[in-house]
Structure 1
Amino acid sequence: MTQYDIKARSGLPNEMQALLRTLPRDGWKDHPNFARSIQNWMGAHQMFRDLATLVREDTESFLGQSLEDTAYAARLARFGNLLVGNLHGHHGWEDRAFFPELEAADPRFARGLEMLETDHQELDVLLDRLTIKGNRVVQLAALEPAQMATEAGDLHGIITQVGGFLHRHLTDEEDLAVPILLHHALRG
């Protein structure tokens, strides 16, 4: 089995783009098999990208002293929790139900789906780091606000990493899954 370096990978490996070449991204929405379920799944992906950006931008605003500490802590608790909780649920569903469905429809892409599941494991590690650091920042808002900036600086590095990872992973996931869905008329 080919191993793919998650951190070095900049896109879907070439051998996993067979259907993407015949069903390119710019034609998906006009394809007769592009179902509402596909649109909703991709909408969830966009929500994850947006939440990661929001947490990063809020952290930058706090560090730049344009967002007050209690407001930042409240937003971080709310939007950080939404990001982490929904990502865990979404990826758990993909690993248990969605990817097996795709693999059964087109076994040629089993290795690509395994690669995406490995991404999920790596993302879980990042999300755990984000949760621990985010919880620390939120706690400091009540316990020791003067220490928040140091911890928020560390959090900024983590959420930037999460955002970059998500952008690459979600794009890879869509580039592999949507052509399979369209080609095999799944989820319609």
Structure 2
Amino acid sequence: MPEAFRILLNETPRDSWETHPSFKTPTRNWLGAHRMFRRLAETIRTTLETHLENRASFRTTVTHLSYYGDALVRNLHGHHNFEDTSYFPELRKADPRFAGGLEILERDHEILDRVLHDFTQQANGLITQFQNNVLPGERPIADIHQTSLAIERLLQRHLADEEELAVPIILHHRLRG
């Protein structure tokens, strides 16, 4: 996130959020969702790595990929929709100085949507092969692993940027309390 959008973060650093008088349950829950996304992305990556290291069966890998992949994709889409249609407009209205930073975050959502689409296509292809009793070899799993790495990297950067832009605005303007 460009330095111009870190003004309030510099005044209210991350390590002071929890004790700030305006830090309320809605913000805590929103940050909790972010922690869940990070864990799901990590779980997907490690599931694929475990398989690639020959420490998990194809059945186990596909089962975990289906469950955790679906949870990540569905929840991220819902979360981003909420942010784009409700959360970010509220923040933009409260402090128009940060509209450019919110636009960066919205573009990130579009990029993440494309990567999540690719992941879904790859994972669904693998699940279909499993259902048809076809062993795909390592290449498709390695490809999904590469996509999972991209998702994890994007989420790490995006969620940190989002938190460090949004939470200081919320605290400064006493929103969501």
Query: TM-score, length-normalised on structure 2?
Result: 0.98
For 1:79-125, what per-residue CA distance to the aligned partner results, in whole angstroms no more than 9, with x for missing partners?
00000010000001100000000011001001110110011001100
Counterpart among 81, 105, 108 of residue 116 in structure 1: 105
Q: For 2:134 and 2:14, how far apart are their aligned partners in 1?
A: 46
1:75 maps to amino acid:
H
Counterpart among 4, 14, 17 of residue 6 in structure 2: 17
Paired position in structure 2 for 1:33: 22
Q: For 2:75 and 2:148, how far apart are their aligned partners in 1?
A: 16
For 1:52-91, what per-residue CA distance to the aligned partner results, in whole angstroms no more than 9, with x for missing partners?
0000000001111111111111111110000001000000
Q: For 1:65 and 1:80, how far apart are their aligned partners in 2?
A: 20
Percent of paired sites with the same residue: 44
Paired position in structure 1 for 2:136: 147
Q: For 1:56 and 1:148, how far apart are their aligned partners in 2?
A: 18
Q: For 1:77 and 1:63, how far apart are their aligned partners in 2?
A: 17
Paired position in structure 2 for 1:4: none
Q: For 1:145 and 1:34, how far apart are their aligned partners in 2?
A: 51
- Equivalent residue runs for 1:62-73 within 5 Å: 62-73=51-62
Counterpart among 136, 161, 164 of residue 175 in structure 1: 164
Q: For 2:8 and 2:67, how far apart are their aligned partners in 1?
A: 39
Does residue 106 in structure 1 map to residue 95 in structure 2? yes
The 3-state SS of whatever aligns with 1:176 is helix
Gaps of 5+ in 2: none
Query: TM-score, length-normalised on structure 1?
Result: 0.92
CA contact under 8 A between 1:137 and 1:148: conserved in structure 2? no
Paired position in structure 2 for 1:76: 65
Post-superposition offset of 1:144: 4.7
Q: For 2:68 and 2:134, how far apart are their aligned partners in 1?
A: 20
2:55 maps to amino acid:
S
The 3-state SS of whatever aligns with 2:176 is coil
- Equivalent residue pairs, number: 177
